[in-house]
Amino acid sequence: MTDLDKDIKDLRVLISEEEIQKKLKTLASEIEKVFTVDEDIYVICVLKGSVMFCADLVKHFNHSVQMEFIRISSYGNEQKSSNNLQAIDLTLPNLHEKNVLIVEDIIDTGLTARFLTDLFKIKHHPKKLAFVTLLNKKCARQIEIEPDFYGFEIDDKFVVGYGLDYKGYYRNLPYIGYFPS
Ligand code: IMP
């Protein structure tokens, strides 16, 4: 029993597990093309939301990969984005002149993507920096920013599953779902 005000029985599937898994293969091969073949890719998994996406995506890479994990918080328990970005854990190795791929779950307002992109460019001076997000809510943008790669463009609705949560729940679902209003 949870204290959630939204019940899983009302959840509708927006993107199925099969669609996600199929997309990962094409995304991975597109991404790999922008990196030099014999160089490592430093994959930055932005916790907690991109945990599933990142873990599944890297399985399709032929490059040698190093995985790093950072934690950013912007939402709290709400369904609205906040300007209050918090870098909770940003411990990273030296990425100077390295190939870096930032892996996000969703770009909504764009604030987190901007924060991360600026941070990596200014602080780490990578050789190549690319940004991939599974979901792209283009219509919700508050600032102009586009990822280098994305899996699916979605409408401005709050989604859960495959790493994305509502009040900490539903991250474990293998698909992306939404609660109809
Ligand atoms: P942004 O800074 O507004 O682009 O939001 C980025 C972060 O907000 C994402 O990494 C998610 O953690 C969270 N977020 C945005 N939209 C949703 C959603 O529909 N469901 C769950 N989390 C979301």
| Residue written as token pair 């939402």 | 75
92-108 confidence digits (pLDDT tens): 899 999 999 999 999 99
pLDDT in the model for residue 5: 74
Q: How far apart are CA 157 and CA 82, in angstroms?
A: 16
Query: How remote is the CA of residue 147 from the centroid of ligand 1, in Å?
Result: 14
Q: Ligand 1 pocket, 164 CB below 6 A?
A: yes
Q: What is the mean pLDDT of the segment spanning 29-42?
A: 91
Catalytic center residues: 108
pLDDT in the model for residue 110: 94
Query: Is 80 exceeded by the pLDDT of residue 76?
Result: no
Q: Ligand 1 pocket, 135 CB below 6 A?
A: no
pLDDT in the model for residue 21: 97
pLDDT in the model for residue 79: 59
Query: How remote is the CA of residue 81 from the centroid of ligand 1, in Å?
Result: 7
Q: Ligand 1 pocket, 107 CB below 6 A?
A: yes
Residue nearest to atom 19 of ligand 1 (CA): 158
Lowest mean pLDDT among 17-26, 64-73, 168-177: 64-73
What is the β-pairing status of strands 128-136 and 149-153? parallel
Q: Ligand 1 pocket, 74 CB below 6 A?
A: yes
pLDDT in the model for residue 132: 98
- Per domain, the residue ranges of the chain are 9-74+84-178
pLDDT in the model for residue 106: 97
Nearest 10 degrees: CA dihedral of 112, 118, 119, 122? 180
Q: How far apart are CA 54 and CA 41, in angstroms?
A: 13
Going by the DSSP 8-state scheme, the letter that residue 146 receives in this structure is -
pLDDT in the model for residue 90: 74
pLDDT in the model for residue 82: 58
115-158 confidence digits (pLDDT tens): 999 989 998 999 999 999 999 999 999 999 999 999 999 999 99
Q: How confident is the model at residue 81 (pLDDT cuts 50, 70, 90)?
A: low
> Considering the domain 9-74+84-178 in this protein, what is its CATH number?
3.40.50.2020
pLDDT in the model for residue 127: 95
Q: Ligand 1 pocket, 75 CB below 6 A?
A: yes
Residue 28 or residue 77, greater confidence: 28
Query: How remote is the CA of residue 47 from the centroid of ligand 1, in Å?
Result: 11
pLDDT in the model for residue 87: 65
Query: How remote is the CA of residue 61 from the centroid of ligand 1, in Å?
Result: 25
